[in-house]
Amino acid sequence: MATKTYAGVTVDVNEEGYLTNPSQWNKDIAVEIAREIGINELTDAHWKIIDFLQKDFAEKNTLPTIRRVKKVGGIPTNELYELFPDGPLKKAAKIAGLSKPASCV
């Protein structure tokens, strides 16, 4: 298994860089992952989405779809794309320390 170091913490990752153990995640790691994928600052709007993904994942043991993020999370789809351009669920999940969405290639 591969590892990567973020914010001084070594975490387990898969070949695409997604954390394989969500319990290793913390907010400092999220900030570094975000910078690595081109998001230089995580705003309150970003954290709202990240928090929703983590909460929903903890309850359902599966990553929510964009539709669920919109309907249950109350986050408009266009906002999701503005905050996480070019693959919003894929990027948001990676920053949140979760697995890659099954719907993403």
Active site residue 104: yes
- Reported as type and span, the H/E element at residue 13 is strand 9-13
Query: Nearest 5 degrees, angle CA 39-CA 56-CA 25?
Result: 50
Are 12 and 19 in contact by the 8 Å Cβ rule? The answer is yes
Kindly list the catalytic residues.
Answer: 104
